[in-house]
Structure 1
Amino acid sequence: MTSAKPHLSTASLYKILEYNYFIFPPTLVLTFYVCYAVLRFKLDKLDVSSAGDWDWTTIVHVLLTSICAFTQAPPYSNVWGLCLPMRPFAYARAPLTRSFKRLRICLVTKGTNFETVVNSVHQWEALRHHSYLRFHVVIDNEDGEHLRKALPSFVQVTEVPGPSIFRTRKAKYKARALEFYRQQQNLSEEDWVLHLDEESLIDAASVQACLDFILRGEAQIGMGTIYYNGVNHWQNSFLSAAEVTRISDDFGQFQLPVRICRRPLLGYMHGSWVLINGAVENAVTWETACVAEDFWFAYNAVSRGFKFGWLHAIVREQPPETLRDFFRQRRRWYTGIFSIPNVFVRLSLMTTVIGPISFLVWPLVTLFRDRQPVPHWLFVWMLWNSVSQGYTIFVASVLQDLVTPSVSWSSMIVHAVKSVVLWPFVHLLQAFALISCLWKPAKGFDVIAKS
């Protein structure tokens, strides 16, 4: 029997990640070298030629690989995000630059996942001693009295009135609840709002990261890393592996543009674990019918010139509980992003979701047809694409398990291997969800089940 490893605290994990540029580049190169040696000299199916013949096979592979690699923004963004200096303690070590009055922690719920909300709010008990914190639960349900009674007295509950009482120009669903909350709170530049989903679990480290960002930073919007180990961790291998791919994307698609350019790529922003200054909320508002209100908000905040920063702390959430919920969740996201009137947004979404599938074409062609000579340079390039993608997913899984209690060392390796193996199938299902939105967009705002 393998004993469980001691899990790391958030602070301990980031003490390791402070030296990410010493850890990940050499281990990535070593991983590539080992895979190269094994594939080049051990697999009979590969016929690697030193010649650079441009036959039809080479042309197809180059075309597909180029589409996959160079339509990403930037190419190999997950690898760059993992290997470039993260500087997780930059805000904590910076001088004071501004002050504030209060930080509001705001959780929005329909009230259907009753136990999930109660469990999340229970984590706030340990934070009550902070005088500058205000705790809010926004219930987007006219029948929320049962949930109101179950919440502790220090939580301010806001129930969103029906459409006949509170009318908006465009806002629907969660955006409507957020817009009502914004108007009711009379936010100012001295106010900050930490937006959370109903299953988001925060702790003292999360709050401290927010305070450092507010007091010692210059950006007006912050978002941070989400791990999906709050509940049902690896109870369903496919669904847990799917969320590991999102953690991997945090290094690149989400985090890298924020770290380098002080703005997200187009509008890629999490819907939870987002810290926003009150003046920014008032300027952008939540007046949108877009069902991906987080993307819409970030897209419009970028167009207004507001600066973004990264919160180097972890909020724990959970993966969907069923494949049906997973599919519905992705369809809602893709429908919302496609509604943004920008061709680059739509192309970015399609290449991000569908593009990596081209990595699968070369192995399938190689394994299921007569051998064709592959130029050595093309072999190296395609191997690099696959190894770099698999490496970032492997690392993302390990980092998540390091801060997860009761995960043994052997289970940690098994989870990482499963994540790499299941990654292509996750992308295939996400690609199908995206394609299905092209002829039949998702309707409404599906709230998936949480436990």
Structure 2
Amino acid sequence: MMLNSKVKHTLHCICVVSWLSFFSWATEGIRFSPTPVDNIDPWIEYGTIITVLIIFLRLLSFLALPQTLFNLVGLVSLNAFRGKDKLQSSPLLAPFICVRVVTRGLYPNLVKKTVKTNINTLLDAGIENFVLQVVTDKSIGLPQDKRTIETVVPTSYKTKSGALNKARALQYCLEDDVSVLGEEDWIVHLDEETLLTEGSVRGILNFITDGTHSFGQGLITYANNPVKFKSFSKFFQNRICTVADSFRVADDMGKLRCQLTYFNKPLFGWKGSYAGAEKKVSFDWGPDGSKAEDCFFGIVALDQGYSFGFIQGEMQEKSPFTFQDLFKQRKRWMQLLRYFLPHYLFFLASWLTMPLTTSNVVLTQIYPMSVSPTIDFLLSLIGGVPLYMYMFGYIKQFPIHRYSWFRSVLSVIEIALASVLSIIVENLAVICMWGGDWYDFYIVEKDNESEQTSQNIV
């Protein structure tokens, strides 16, 4: 029997409350009667220095409370299993749309395949007024027709501020003598492996038709186009990385949706796949604005007073193929944090202090103690919500309704392995983030058919 979206969301909310109640009880964040931990006087049992240190580390975890609450509110208050949205107007009446893909040109076959798939998706949706533009550092031999444009960024091109990497390429497209777009045209940004879906195209069209916001983005999933590998080791690593990215799926459905729906601002960051009209904002913000040009762009647009919204539907991407690429991807994310601390203070500080706050998992076992009933409960909430997000994200991107009971048990093992791996990798990324060239832009491998390996953009 097929359940409608409201029933699914209600069941999901029951699961949220049930899980958080169980997790809080298991970690003694909720206590219905006195427990041994209530009888421990840490000042006498452990001494002043250790007690102060333990209390400090536990209170440090509260840096993650704002994003925990945003994730929880987004997952519970907004329908997590929304059905297909109807088009608000005819696709033939939509303004001109440019789907822009920026690539180094390392994986030409992947880009060509992605371009062909996305063009077919747009045509199937009934859109006629569009072009797909590939912006590349070196030519990939993309067939030229009325639907596709290949723009090669000259090696001699320099922006006024010295922007690097992807920001430099995006700024080149905005130059007056290069741009093929008008002031009212819309741009949809995709990575070189990102696939549009019927739902995301409808969402983009409705977002444009509504006309309330200047920029929008939505859900990205990673498991819908599994990669085939000859090596079992690589298959296993990619599978676990994809399961680990279930957290990112839940993060889109929680925190991202909450901030864009209720506040219309990128309060916790902005990512590279989005739709908008951007020429007045620009990408020319120097080397510091190039490390994470998408997040920096969001800050600049926010400061300039633009409004942001959430786009329904989903786009599809790939997770890193190996644990090494997963680590290097996360390390690059961590390195960009120093540029955004004034804007995303609590969000980014919670990432930077992750090795310290993660130590509470061990220290609570060695030095059990209660700070206060309220603090104990909130700490359980901060720990329980992210763990639920791995489970929820898995459900959103994998077809579990088709799984047998045995396969469902294996899914639990997958989620446990992936969540532990993700936590370890992100902690190592924080510890190792200070090494290496901060202006390198590591590209993870995205095309398993290519014999080329991951390289750096300098």
TM-score computed with the length of structure 2 as normaliser: 0.78
| Equivalent residue number for residue 364 of structure 1 | 362
2:163 is the counterpart of 1:168: no
| Equivalent residue number for residue 312 of structure 1 | 312
| Equivalent residue number for residue 392 of structure 2 | 395
Superposed displacement of residue 35, structure 1? 4.3
| Equivalent residue number for residue 43 of structure 1 | none
Q: Taking structure 1 as reference, are residues 59 and 47 closer, same or farther at Cα in structure 2, changes over 3 Å only?
A: farther
Distance 1:139 1:241 in 2: 31
| Equivalent residue number for residue 84 of structure 1 | 77
2:419 is the counterpart of 1:423: yes
2:295 is the counterpart of 1:301: no
2:122 is the counterpart of 1:127: yes
| Equivalent residue number for residue 208 of structure 2 | 214
Determine which of 188, 191, 197 is the counterpart of 2:185. Answer: 191
Secondary structure at the aligned position of 1:121 is classed as helix
Asked if the contact 2:71–2:251 (Cα under 8 Å) also holds between the matched residues in 1, the reply is yes
Which amino acid counterpart does residue 333 of structure 1 have in structure 2? W
Query: C-alpha offsets along residues 302-329 of structure 1, whole Å, 9 cap, x if unaligned?
Result: 0001011111211111111122322222
Query: C-alpha offsets along residues 220-260 of structure 1, whole Å, 9 cap, x if unaligned?
Result: 10111100113339742442233122223223443321121
| Equivalent residue number for residue 29 of structure 1 | 17
Which amino acid counterpart does residue 192 of structure 1 have in structure 2? W
Distance 2:357 2:8 in 1: 27
| Equivalent residue number for residue 434 of structure 2 | 438
Which amino acid counterpart does residue 158 of structure 1 have in structure 2? E
Alignment of 1:31-180 (within 5 A): 31-35=19-23, 48-51=36-39, 53=41, 55=43, 60-86=53-79, 101-123=95-117, 124-128=119-123, 130-142=126-138, 144=139, 147-149=140-142, 151=143, 153-164=145-156, 166-169=157-160, 170-180=162-172
Which amino acid counterpart does residue 158 of structure 2 have in structure 1? R
Superposed displacement of residue 195, structure 1? 0.6
Superposed displacement of residue 343, structure 1? 2.9
Which amino acid counterpart does residue 300 of structure 1 have in structure 2? V
Superposed displacement of residue 154, structure 1? 4.7
2:267 is the counterpart of 1:269: no
Query: C-alpha offsets along residues 156-214 of structure 1, whole Å, 9 cap, x if unaligned?
Result: 222323232x3311222111211122232353342101110011011222111100000
Q: Taking structure 1 as reference, are residues 156 and 39 closer, same or farther at Cα in structure 2, changes over 3 Å only?
A: closer
Asked if the contact 2:88–2:209 (Cα under 8 Å) also holds between the matched residues in 1, the reply is no
TM-score computed with the length of structure 1 as normaliser: 0.79
Q: Taking structure 1 as reference, are residues 366 and 295 closer, same or farther at Cα in structure 2, changes over 3 Å only?
A: closer
Distance 1:110 1:319 in 2: 18
Asked if the contact 1:222–1:308 (Cα under 8 Å) also holds between the matched residues in 2, the reply is yes
Matched length: 417
Superposed displacement of residue 49, structure 1? 3.5
| Equivalent residue number for residue 3 of structure 1 | none
- For structure 1, which segment, 168-177 or 73-82, has the greater mean C-alpha deviation from structure 2 after superposition? 73-82
Secondary structure at the aligned position of 1:231 is classed as coil
Query: C-alpha offsets along residues 68-106 of structure 1, whole Å, 9 cap, x if unaligned?
Result: 23444344322222112248589858799xx75211111
Which amino acid counterpart does residue 282 of structure 2 have in structure 1? T
Secondary structure at the aligned position of 2:434 is classed as helix
2:451 is the counterpart of 1:450: no
Distance 1:120 1:359 in 2: 41
Which amino acid counterpart does residue 65 of structure 1 have in structure 2? R
Q: Taking structure 1 as reference, are residues 444 and 372 closer, same or farther at Cα in structure 2, changes over 3 Å only?
A: closer
Asked if the contact 1:354–1:427 (Cα under 8 Å) also holds between the matched residues in 2, the reply is no
Gaps of 5+ in 1: 1-5, 41-45
Alignment of 1:372-411 (within 5 A): 372=368, 374=370, 377=373, 380-402=377-399, 410-411=406-407
Asked if the contact 2:221–2:397 (Cα under 8 Å) also holds between the matched residues in 1, the reply is yes
Superposed displacement of residue 140, structure 1? 1.9
Secondary structure at the aligned position of 1:282 is classed as coil
Asked if the contact 1:102–1:192 (Cα under 8 Å) also holds between the matched residues in 2, the reply is yes
Q: Taking structure 1 as reference, are residues 364 and 207 closer, same or farther at Cα in structure 2, changes over 3 Å only?
A: same
Secondary structure at the aligned position of 1:331 is classed as helix
Which amino acid counterpart does residue 168 of structure 1 have in structure 2? T
Distance 2:203 2:410 in 1: 31
Distance 1:95 1:125 in 2: 20
2:319 is the counterpart of 1:328: no
Which amino acid counterpart does residue 435 of structure 1 have in structure 2? I
Q: Percent identity of the aligned residues?
A: 20
Q: Taking structure 1 as reference, are residues 407 and 157 closer, same or farther at Cα in structure 2, changes over 3 Å only?
A: farther
Distance 2:388 2:12 in 1: 9
Gaps of 5+ in 2: 29-33, 229-234, 448-458
Q: Taking structure 1 as reference, are residues 217 and 86 closer, same or farther at Cα in structure 2, changes over 3 Å only?
A: farther
